């Protein structure tokens, strides 16, 4: 049987996030082998997490080119991955692909197109990337009915602190770890320190400062495969958004995600139900790029962390506290006091789910609009005006086949999810008549709901 090819050459954590996709593909295509194409330094350490899958890299390109695939799914946005997706032999292709002119980039798959529209525009995204990886190639019924083990944080005794992440913006300052360890020791908890070689110096200084046994420093001592095994020792892993956090999650270990920097837990938070996310309450959250001097990282509260793990679903002043749950068969983050943004995010999740074929019941959208009216009274009228304006300019855009590269920024924040999708969708279909008709239909339907 023809194999399936998944291309992901971004980061290790991005490959780990394909684990749900891997499981779903095994269910839907049990007789088709699953191949991964990734960078060699990524594939070798993690290939044992995907039993039965084959991993390839650039050194084995000739073998990949000789293989005929059932379909390829390019989850990377790098240009070389688009080139690779064009060159391989596959019955269907999804994700970024290089055009025939060898210059233009196109995106195959409506959900891959939606994911691309989130670049700099993810404020109201409610779809987790683990699901966006799969929605073009796995039936929604499989995803929505999948049974995951539920993680629960219950009086943890053995706690691991993962100190680092792939980017400096995504993990706490040294002073935070010092204060957290001091608080834990005061409460009778001796945490273990986790991380790669890059965190070893920090771990050694913390061990020395607080007189911890050197055996509690586990940084740089294990391969990823070994890390996945020792993770079973812990009752809880406290971690920023990083690849090892996802490994712990998919090993059914309870995780408290310290969300900070330019990440959104709706995009890449711990995927399995029962895990928790702690995030500073800031008006700029969530973001794609930071222009606020990382205020979400400053003075991150150790007491807030301790309250989360001892009192579970408790309100913490100045923080969002979320528990991973499921809604509409998909990932969601549950909190006690939903914000305006939470309701608007749910609205856009339902709208795109309707237009992209996950459900046909528009009463779901009517119901959430009624809730948004209470939480954010100005939303409906503002979105209605923006929808009408977009409809008025759309025919001119198609006639001229050109538009402002930052077209979506011409609209207010409420309408930008739709404007961002259009900005990707129109050139991706070369401003075709069918693309115009679809956009007009979407806008007219949106106006109908809002009126």
214's tokens:
């050197």
pTM as predicted: 0.94
DSSP bridge pairs for 36: 6, 55
Q: Is 389 exposed, middle or buried (CB count within 10 Å of its CB: 0-12, 13-18, 19+)?
A: middle
Residue keyed to tokens 């959208």 = 365
Dump the DSSP string for 402-418.
Answer: ---TTGGGGS-TTTHHH
330 secondary structure, DSSP code: E
Superfamily of domain 159-337: Glycogen Phosphorylase B; (3.40.50.2000)
* pLDDT reported for residue 291: 63
Token pair of 254 as six digits? 């309870």
pLDDT for res 397:
81
| Confidence (pLDDT) at 44 | 86
Report the alpha-carbon distance of residue 254 to residue 152 in Å, rounded.
6
Query: What is the SS3 assignment for 303?
Result: helix
Separation of alpha carbons 195 and 313, rounded Å? 27
How far apart CA 276 and CA 237 sit, in angstroms, is 11
Rounded-to-integer distance, Cα 354 and Cα 328, Å: 12
Residue 410 confidence (pLDDT)? 87
* Structure token digits, residue 114: 């939606």
* DSSP-assigned letter for residue 150: P
**Residue where the block lists tokens 């293989």:** 67
- State how far the Cα of 50 lies from the Cα of 44, in Å rounded to an integer: 11
pLDDT in tens, the chain (451 residues): 999 999 999 988 899 999 999 999 999 999 999 999 999 988 888 888 999 999 999 999 999 999 999 999 999 999 999 999 999 999 999 999 999 988 899 999 999 999 999 998 999 999 999 999 999 999 999 999 999 988 888 888 899 999 987 777 777 888 999 999 999 999 998 899 999 888 999 999 999 999 999 999 999 888 888 888 888 899 999 999 998 999 999 999 999 999 888 889 999 999 999 999 998 876 656 766 656 566 666 778 899 899 888 876 566 778 889 999 999 999 999 988 888 999 999 999 999 999 999 999 989 999 999 999 999 999 999 999 999 999 988 877 877 777 777 788 889 999 999 999 999 999 899 888 898 899 999 999 999 999 9
CATH number of the 4-145 domain: 3.40.50.2000
Res 314: pLDDT = 65
pLDDT at residue 292 in the model? 59
Where are the domain boundaries for CATH 3.40.50.2000 in the chain?
Answer: 4-145, 159-337
Q: List CB contacts of 253: < 8 A, sequence separation 6 or more.
A: 151, 231, 232, 234, 236, 237
What's the pLDDT at 142?
Answer: 98
């Amino acid at each position: 049987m023809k194999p399936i090819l998944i291309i992901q050459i971004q980061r290790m954590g991005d490959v780990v996030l394909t684990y749900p996709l891997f499981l779903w593909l095994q269910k839907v295509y049990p007789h088709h082998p699953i191949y991964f194409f990734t960078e060699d330094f990524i594939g070798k350490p993690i290939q044992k997490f995907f039993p039965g899958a084959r991993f390839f890299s650039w050194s084995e390109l000739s073998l990949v080119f000789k293989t005929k695939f059932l379909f390829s799914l390019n989850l990377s946005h790098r240009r070389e991955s688009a080139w690779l997706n064009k060159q391989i032999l596959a019955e269907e292709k999804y994700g970024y692909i290089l055009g025939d002119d060898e210059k233009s980039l196109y995106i195959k798959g409506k959900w891959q197109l939606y994911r691309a529209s989130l670049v700099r525009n993810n404020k109201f995204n409610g779809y987790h990337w683990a699901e966006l990886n799969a929605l073009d190639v796995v039936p929604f019924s499989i995803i929505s009915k999948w049974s995951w083990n539920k993680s629960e944080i219950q009086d943890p005794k053995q706690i691991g602190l993962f100190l680092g992440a792939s980017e400096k913006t995504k993990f706490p300052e040294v002073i935070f770890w010092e204060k957290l360890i001091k608080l834990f020791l005061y409460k009778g908890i001796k945490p273990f320190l986790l991380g790669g070689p890059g965190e070893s110096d920090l771990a050694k200084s913390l061990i020395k400062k607080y007189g911890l046994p050197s055996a509690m420093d586990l940084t740089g001592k294990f391969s990823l495969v070994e890390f996945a095994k020792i993770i079973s020792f812990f009752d809880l892993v406290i971690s920023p958004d990083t690849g090892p956090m996802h490994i712990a999650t998919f090993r059914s270990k309870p995780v408290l995600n310290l969300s900070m920097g330019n990440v959104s837990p709706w995009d890449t938070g711990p995927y399995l139900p029962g895990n928790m996310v702690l995030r500073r309450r800031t008006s700029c959250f969530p973001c794609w790029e930071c222009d606020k001097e990382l205020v979400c990282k400053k003075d991150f509260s150790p007491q807030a962390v301790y309250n989360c793990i001892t009192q579970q679903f408790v309100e913490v002043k100045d923080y969002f506290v979320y528990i991973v749950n499921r809604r509409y068969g998909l990932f969601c983050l549950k909190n006690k006091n939903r914000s305006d943004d939470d309701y608007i995010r749910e609205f856009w999740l339902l709208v795109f789910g309707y237009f992209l074929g996950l459900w046909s019941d528009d009463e779901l959208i009517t119901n959430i609009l009624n809730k948004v009216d209470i939480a954010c009274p100005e939303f409906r009228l503002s979105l209605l005006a923006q929808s009408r304006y977009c409809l008025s300019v759309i025919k001119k855009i198609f006639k001229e086949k050109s538009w402002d590269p930052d077209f979506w920024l011409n609209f207010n924040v409420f309408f930008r999810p739709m404007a961002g999708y259009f900005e990707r969708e129109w050139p991706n279909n070369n401003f075709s008549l069918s693309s115009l008709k679809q956009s007009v239909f979407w806008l007219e339907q949106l106006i109908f709901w809002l009126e």
